[in-house]
Structure 1
């Protein structure tokens, strides 16, 4: 088995109207529950970048902390789901389900193998 990060960029869901959110949330929660039922779910969550009290930071190797990345940056991740599946094809199937539920494209990245954990 391998772990895959399924994610989407911040702002990918900004086109929704207020009326869309309950349906999108319900669909997203259904995909998460399906992954749990299938035994492949590891973690999922949206990342907060809207509230004024969100303080993103970058910590350098020397421990220096600087503000950022900034909410204006397109590189910010908006949400993630991690699945533990046997193949890339299986991860892509979960990404497709998540894309349909969230109504936005999903990035898929495989975590590096760690013999201490895997």
Structure 2
């Protein structure tokens, strides 16, 4: 069953709360690249790209339906796309930040992965 962005956005307020909690934990000027794994509609990735103004962002998702309206959010530093290979993600270089909010225990598990 494909994802439906309209159904997904019915719970936007609930989903954004842990996002803002996570965003408060991210500090520093050394983040050069950020990859948002399972970015959904890309809205949260766009918000975070404004906070980390020096970083280039890549939001990826496996659902073309979820990404269907996301390209209006893209900027010079923010690209949203369908899933890429692990090798293309790793080629981003040092100073990369991986973000993932995992659907476990009511969307309370949040992961931040950094490669330096």
TM over 0.5: no
TM-score where L is the length of structure 2: 0.30
Q: Which structure has more RCO (C-alpha within 8 Å, separation ≥ 6)?
A: 1
| TM-score normalised over the length of structure 1 | 0.30
**Larger proportion of helix:** 2
